[in-house]
Amino acid sequence: MYPLFVCEGSGVRRAISSMPGVYQLSVDETVKEALAAHADGVPAVLLFGLPEHKDAVGSAASAPEAPVQSAVRALKRALPELVVVTDVCLCEYTSHGHCGILEGEDIVNDVTVAHLVQVAVSHAAAGADFVAPSDMMDGRVAAIRRGLDEHGFERVGIMSYAAKYCSAFYGPFRDAADSAPQFGDRRSHQMDPANIEEALREVEPT
């Protein structure tokens, strides 16, 4: 699966300094990149969206003409057999860079989940084969499944990000998606890798 960062515009191929060889691509360039990758045997792409304008609630995430939705339609027209997976999160779309909608400096879980459902449904409507929620909100997978089913997208799958850890390795991704938090961090809703050893001790038989 080939991750692609889709931005607005035409003919855009913008280098990401922290990831040499990786680019922010407009929809037309995304299609070219996906076609070349598919010719080399890559059967699927994972799309991340980079809107031109951001706001406090990430409203562009569910817009029908946003970069991801536009890229899904273009890819399915150009290469119907390509498996298209879309990232479902708000961090790329919010002006504050957090994964959810805020009340003060706290993420409001249920309001965020409702918006994530709208995002997932908009991706499915554009033709996505799978949606991939990476936001870490509680209950969002079940809510997205219900939302997809209620809108007639029973065959659209949900790809698991089984676990996400709080890590400096996210730095290049935040550069690529322009999604670094404007205050605080995501430690309150990402797993601490230091806890792995302790968790394993708890489940190992004695």
Contact of 28 with 10, CB cutoff 8 Å: yes
Contact of 8 with 51, CB cutoff 8 Å: yes
- pTM exceeds 0.85, yes or no: no
Contact of 50 with 67, CB cutoff 8 Å: yes
CA neighbours closer than 13 Å in the CB half-sphere of residue 49 = 35
Is residue 184's pLDDT more than 60?
no
- Residue 88, beta-bridge partner list: 133
Tens digits of per-residue pLDDT, 148-166?
A: 999 999 999 999 775 555 5
Residue 18 is predicted with a pLDDT of: 83
Element (DSSP H or E) covering residue 2: strand 2-7
Residue 165 is predicted with a pLDDT of: 59
CA distance 115 to 8: 22
The residue among 129, 133, 155, 134 whose CA lies nearest residue 144 is 133
CA distance 27 to 32: 9
Strand ranges (E), 57-109: 83-88, 102-103, 106-107
The residue among 64, 50, 33 whose CA lies nearest residue 127 is 64
Confidence label for 206 from pLDDT (cuts 50, 70 and 90): very low
* 4-26 average pLDDT score: 92
Tens digits of per-residue pLDDT, 44-97?
A: 999 999 998 999 888 999 999 999 999 999 999 999 999 999 999 998 898 888
Tens digits of per-residue pLDDT, 99-110?
A: 888 888 788 889
In sequence order, which residues have a C-beta less than 8 Å from that of residue 125 and are 6 or more positions away? 64, 69, 151, 153
